[in-house]
Amino acid sequence: MKLSEIAATLREIGVSPVKSLGQNFLHDRNLAQWIVDQADIVPEDFVVEIGPGLGALTELVLGKEARVLAIEKDKRLAEYLRNKFGGSALEIAHDDALEFDTRTLYTQPKVKLLGNLPYYISSQLLIKFLEYPSPISLWLFMLQKELARRLVAAPATSDYGALTLQIQLHHRVEYLRKVPASVFLPKPDVDSALVRISPRDPQDLPACNRKIFQKLVRRGFSQRRKQLGKLIREDVPDWEETFFAAMDRANESHRADRCRSRA
């Protein structure tokens, strides 16, 4: 849709975009096509789209003959999509993505997830939909540029944090491109970026006690300059026996070292 068409459609259905809720509508069709192309969608795919808005990406995904489940919190936008794409391979879930039951996706053979994630809940959505193990084979997210940089950060850099570690442990993250604020209506205050995430080969993953790992991540990044052994001994009394590198500092410890425990 062109800018004028988006504005007219929003007026017609009674929607005044709320920037704080992430209601920014993509109006660059060439960019929309490029984004969809990065997911390598085929007819056998089951595509979940978070926050479809007016269907800029939805329409192009349906053009790939894939089935689509669009999760839309705004009732007016959900109804608009039903009317626009009625009779197609599109299912609309009028729901909050944070409340969506991801277990239902295990019934689908090949799941891919697309989303222009609202900035204010991006981290929560990432943690929810990237939980391991997962039925999803590929994630393609539009995020605030600063958050995207954090997801691809290397250890011992200022952008590397708890969220980076949690996601990179089981996934590979690619920073695909910057997306300028000017391609959205209304224009957000900051630029976005597109990231593509894929699962790591299970054979490459370190053995991991998830309960201890999560505790270590929280404690390790709460006070980044303290030695990990001293920092978490009150939570994990047998730290020296449980973890491979008790003296590594939180800024320098590799994700596998954080998670490796003795059998």
Domain boundary among 201, 220, 248: 201
Q: On the CB side of 74, how many CA atoms lie within 13 Å of its CA?
A: 21
187 and 100 fall within a common domain: yes
- How far, in Å, are 29, 164, 189 from residue 180 at the CA level? 14, 23, 10
12 and 131 fall within a common domain: yes
Helix (H) / strand (E) containing 149: helix 145-151
Under 8 Å between Cβ of 257 and 244:
yes
Q: Domain count of the chain?
A: 2
217 and 195 fall within a common domain: no
Output the six-digit token pair for 93: 């879930």
186 and 220 fall within a common domain: no
pLDDT of residue 29 exceeding 90: yes
Q: Model-level pTM?
A: 0.83
197 and 230 fall within a common domain: no
The pLDDT of residue 214 = 72
CATH number for 25: 3.40.50.150
- Average pLDDT, integer, range 72-93: 94
190 and 243 fall within a common domain: no
Mean pLDDT computed over every residue of the chain: 87
The pLDDT of residue 1 = 84
> CA torsion sign, 252 to 254 to 255 to 256?
negative
* Residue 201 CB neighbour total at 10 angstroms: 7
151 and 65 fall within a common domain: yes
Under 8 Å between Cβ of 194 and 176:
yes
Question: Which percentage of the chain shows pLDDT scores above 90?
Answer: 67
What are the DSSP E strand ranges found in the chain? 25-26, 46-50, 67-72, 90-94, 111-116, 136-144, 171-179, 184-185, 192-199
149 and 248 fall within a common domain: no
Structural domain boundaries enclosing 67: 3-201
17 and 134 fall within a common domain: yes
216 and 188 fall within a common domain: no
Residue closest to 121 by CA, chosen among 25, 53, 20: 20
| pLDDT band (50, 70, 90) for residue 244 | very low
Under 8 Å between Cβ of 61 and 68:
yes
The pLDDT of residue 249 = 42
The pLDDT of residue 217 = 73
pLDDT of residue 98 exceeding 60: yes
| pLDDT band (50, 70, 90) for residue 145 | very high
Domain boundary among 151, 180, 201: 201
- Average pLDDT, integer, range 116-128: 93
Rounded to whole angstroms, the Cα distance separating 148 from 142 reads: 8
Under 8 Å between Cβ of 20 and 73:
no
- How far, in Å, are 103, 126, 140 from residue 106 at the CA level? 6, 18, 19
Domain boundary among 156, 182, 201: 201
More confident residue, 25 or 206: 25
In terms of C-beta density within 10 A (0-12 exposed, 13-18 middle, 19 or more buried), how is residue 150 classed? buried
Which residues make beta-bridge pairs with 123?
A: none
196 and 124 fall within a common domain: yes
Q: On the CB side of 51, how many CA atoms lie within 13 Å of its CA?
A: 20
The pLDDT of residue 250 = 43
176 and 246 fall within a common domain: no
